[in-house]
Copies of this chain bind each other. A is one copy, B any other.
Amino acid sequence: MLHELLTSNRTRATPFTSRVEACGVQAYTVYNHMLLPAVFRGLEEDYWHLCEAVQLWDVSCQRQVEITGQDSQKLVQLMTPRDISQTDVGQCLYAPLCDENGYMINDPILIKHSQNHWWLSIADTDVLLWAKGLATGFGFDVRIHEPDIWPLAVQGPKAEELCVRVFGEEISNIGFFRGKWMKYGAASFFIARSGWSKQGGFEIYLNEFSLGEKLWDDFFEKGKDLDVGPGCPNLIERIESGLLSFGADATYETTPFECGLEQYVSLEADIESLSINALRKQKPKTRLVGLVVNEKIELADRSVLDEKDVIGEITANTWSPRYSVYLVYARCDANRILALTELNLKSTKGLVKARITDIPFNFVTLGLSNQS
């Protein structure tokens, strides 16, 4: 849904905002109190371009919570049920943060610069306050703040070629979910092979506001023949790829197990984590499932039904132009969904059957071609 957005000093602009506007951004959303571009040429056109070329994403709103000091790793481990003890310097870890009852606070990427220096690259909640509150209460020896860092994501199949042109061959040596500091003129940015799409690419952690426009322009100049363009996290691509959005698909009321994030909970590890004991005992009440409908529908509302009762709610949905199916994430009653293989959605033309499947969607298992 599109409405007008009134911006102010409270909804912060970024080092790239002037360029994003010059590129004709059509819509924004607000994320971590900051502008996040949401549409450029159109949802579907942006999607195809992302999957075929290379895009620059102003994801400055992916704020960093920086934790330094001798209790840093202890605090980070306390916040997440994922075992971080084996993390290498420069490694990036996707990790749910949970409270003492196992409920999620956020799902950041943890970046280890050293034992005593971590960044939490966060989704849309004020993790800064959670970390500071815990550190103050427990009396940890840490310093926690939000540094002036504005990530720029370079995403798409041609992202690597473009980044090599801007940063040199060495960038190709960065492994998946690994990062390192690279020179850019007199500056030095942390760059990781990561990003909120499955099209490949890097995230550049810009640390000088004044270099934002130069960096943006540099990518455009060197990427003309690669069809570089502006972009942003894309609803179609992220649902096809099985990525979750905190605040929609995962919330304060859900545990990692209820979001299909089992692999990021180290149940067997001997770790000092706030949530681990609760998560060891807890039986999921809800389950996030994928639903597939073989036609383009218009939803009448967000409810999900078994034969007659509402047993869940849609958290995200999109038409997939690649697979020609309608894809839905739905949060359902974990018990009532157990024996079912399909559910009903309410379309404007009446009830529509939807196949239940896992997230991420497995389009091969679903018998769907990968070609448009």
Contact = CB atoms under 8 A, between A and B. Distances in A.
Contact of A7 (B1, B128, B133, B315): B1
Interface stretch (A21-29, A283-291, A363-371): A21-29
Contact of A25 (B3, B9, B33, B139): B3
A6 B3 CA distance: 7
Contacts of A245: 8-10
Interface in A100-138: 100, 105, 124-138
B124 A125 contact: no
Interface string A309-330: 0000011100000000000000
Q: In terms of DSSP, what is the predominant structure of the interface of chain A? A: mixed
Contacts of A136: 99-100, 133-134, 137, 274
Given A33-B124, A133-B129, A28 B3 contact: yes
A38 B30 CA distance: 14
A146 interface: yes
A10 B247 contact: yes
A6 B27 contact: yes
Contacts of A29: 5-8, 10-11, 30
Interface of A: 1-11, 25-30, 33, 38-39, 99-100, 105, 124-139, 146, 235, 245-248, 252, 274, 302, 314-316
